[in-house]
Chains A and B, each alone.
Chain A
């Protein structure tokens, strides 16, 4: 078990490209660079939020780490091994330590299995618990831990509400005693009062079990509330990363600033009404040359369309922007 704050997973220079095929022979005519050189770390007992707008590649990062899609290159170090190098039979035991919870739990819960089977499925495949009776007890304990009635283990998933299904998804992930959970828009489909229940549950579990969370979301209110660190993605790349409070207080990349300004204010004394970013997000199949944000950036200058900025130290982390280049002035 890693001590709190120790990296549980280290992702380096991850690239996941999807081929664009055309013609009779389905030849590859181009690539969608969904993830294009992403590096990040998630620490034990901590939450890293991966945020960005639709199509920025945040979900593909999560899926690549679990090898639900095959990355093209990069390294994912977890439990001392590079997950991307492992043959399937060696990858399987590591999957126990690395679980995922999805946005729509109904799509990830087999509708024909009773809750007891759903929750204990992973235990059986990883040899947790010695007999069925012991597993039943463990399922009951897990259900009460996620605040569901243990007697409900004989029900089917369709008998549950959205929030209850998300609790089931969490119970199922916890059943195999993971070290890290990838949560992909795990609370996005829920009503706000139910969302609050699930967010509180997730932070309790983290504190209790020392879990590392990679929290993938587009909801910046949720990010600010629960994450320790934030990585902001734009067209396949992380453009800024830093500690949550510092990043929200003083964003160092123009995209992060635009994103934060665009969030509707929930403070009735203040409406944001800030100048919105113009235009649309470019396609990852045809990213703009140079800095990928230069087509929408209010602070763009000549160099931005020519050269691609590296990640420069900025604030409590890094920003991929020439304005943050050492010696750039501001």
Chain B
């Protein structure tokens, strides 16, 4: 597909990287000449230097022939305007990043009347992701497939877990649960395990299960923690606003600490049922006074990554069971992965990238590819992909044990109509099934490619 990306900032850059590797024809428009040069040197893309909202630049970049036009510059207005112009010039689909909450109320209008295909609000997306962590406290990460019927959950194996020392082939018999361990990260290495694999303490385990059986599995594994009823949010950013609104709606007690008095006052006006405290969220005295140790969860959303990190560690040390930490710099996220127990790391930019990628992939599937969804798991070292088995799929009608798959590939789950099959040796794939495949260190674009 021909994709045009306006803005070569952090989100733009990671989009460029991932989309060009996936084989799309990517064109970049960016005002900073130096940046254009590095992008063209680093990735297989073509670059144009200029204002992404300018008619001539767009025409030169070939907006007419583009399938998707993505605008992720720092300015909401430029993003909206360039998408409008691109749409009129003939871009088939347009995607804009719009972060101002005042605009986000008119997203439905922008989509229906202005013809924007997707409007992303990074703060809102981040808030939604944090809310999911709060709602499922035990999981580090949960991705959904097959319209929500299948879940791919990530857990960290603790010392006293029943999973410790368990051989995978015995897992189902011993625990009587319908789950399949499909990827394990042990220290730096990502392993796609076979039946003889033994789980150890400290492993980050991804397993697939049906949505319905997930609560039971969490219970069997001893992972069910008490429901989170109170949350302390530090930092009154936009993300905090969306998060507090959503969680308080779900009946959770929220306390929000914000340093700026004006901001705090505004938050108090806008939010009902939320206790807003004006003060320094990194002040030890204040935190004790507000009884941080009584909260079930703590979310650190200040502007400074380091502060958030220290805050999360402090909260964890005070016995807060679940902490969520916002990190803006992508490099830090990579260095931190899995370092702190019970802490989820949220990177708004990565979330934006992921949302756009998911959209682009969905669009390219319409254009003949059968891949439905794709998630990067374990910090991008492994990928989970959902395919639909077509008529000429070579897997059809053969028992999985008779298939010879490439190394580091596993079929994690199969969904047929409303039933979810957790694969066993005798399971067969049939036409029309949606098949979830996990791979490490390779990218496939067709289901047949998983065979040797």
Q: Do A and B bind each other?
A: no
